[in-house]
Amino acid sequence: MTQRYLFSIAAVIAVALYPLLGGGLGTFLATDVAIWALFAVSLNILVGYTGLVSFGHAAYFGIGAYTAGILLKSGGVPFILALPLAGLAAGLLAVIFGFFCVRLTKVYFSMLTLAFAQIAWALCFKLNWITGGDQGLSGIPYPAFLNHLNDVPVLGTLDLSQRFHIVAVVVVGICLAVIHRILQSPFGRVLTMIRENPGRAEFVGVNVHRYQLAAFAIAGVFAGVAGSLFGIFNRGMYPDLMYWTKSAEVLIMVVLGGMGRFYGPIIGAFLLLWLNQELTAITEYWSAIVGLALMALIFFLPGGFADLIERGRNYLVSKLRCGKFARTAAQEGTP
């Protein structure tokens, strides 16, 4: 097992145990970061690895949340079934939308994803008898098994939101591991080939549209899982969370952290949500500050913060190697 995997496992455990550590950022922010990180990583499958800039990713996030909420609240379906069903519902919607979208390219593709997402938002807004309309779907219950942990040491001292935080982080960790495995597989390498040169990929026999549609489906499934976790944690879901501005927000997370780098969107999700919390306490113009920061980032660090971190790591490694080489040379030269 590589050091990277060990570090990833340690990070998931640390975030999962956050409520027990009494951190200053709060359980709400930690859970939000985990959920939005999964949402951003799912978008990165399209934007960073396949080269498809989608402006409608919030539709799958919302469908996942509504599906899980309805199943848990009205259907009495257990959490362990509601979660994958929500992901599958979002994935199915992504396949339907993607079937038409992948036939277009560049700005036309992006505009069609936006159009489909706005249709989904409008339907959720109007279908009062299913979604609650503009009032949203409230009263989504936490998983029933969380109520049976009162006698479990340590966990029994946590409230339901803190217990669900642990569940959410574990689910996010598993999903991120699966996504990482997919992107490192031959399938993921084909997606990268399509991003770099779709014409050449098609020339060597790759069915570009089929792979793009598969990427759509995978991204939709994990966005739906993220949405279901969000809806359950917040005990409700509202149409505004499917509006195009949410798609833009998660796209900013991807750009901020670094497109095409697996950990980039995770970094971007943390930075944007943390800045949101800190700046809103200082000024009402926090969004303008974030916008200026994003403009500066695009000009001076187009690879995002993940690129900056990687440069720093490579610099330190090169310095350590040079130091080790110099010490070895000095020792060999000593009579």
Report DSSP letters for 259-324, one per residue.
Answer: TT-TTHHHHHHHHHHHHHHHHHTT-TTHHHHHHHHHHHHHHH-TTHHHHHHHHHHHHHHHHHHHHH
Which pTM was predicted? 0.90
Q: Which residue has the tokens 């990583």?
A: 41
Q: Do residues 27 and 35 touch, judged by C-beta distance below 8 A?
A: no
> Residue 137: in which H helix or E strand, if any?
strand 137-138
3-state secondary structure of 86: helix
Identify the sign of the CA torsion 81, 83, 84, 87.
positive
For domain 1-287, give the CATH number: 1.10.3470
Q: pLDDT (tens digit, 0 to 9) for every residue of the chain, 335 residues total?
A: 455 555 666 666 666 666 666 554 578 888 999 999 999 999 999 999 999 999 999 999 999 999 999 999 887 899 999 999 999 999 999 999 999 999 998 899 999 999 999 999 999 988 888 888 888 898 899 998 888 887 777 777 788 888 898 899 999 999 999 999 999 999 999 999 999 999 999 999 999 999 999 999 999 999 999 999 999 999 999 898 999 999 999 999 999 999 988 989 999 999 899 888 888 888 888 788 888 888 888 888 888 888 888 888 787 877 777 765 555 555 655 55
Domain boundaries, the chain: 1-287, 301-334
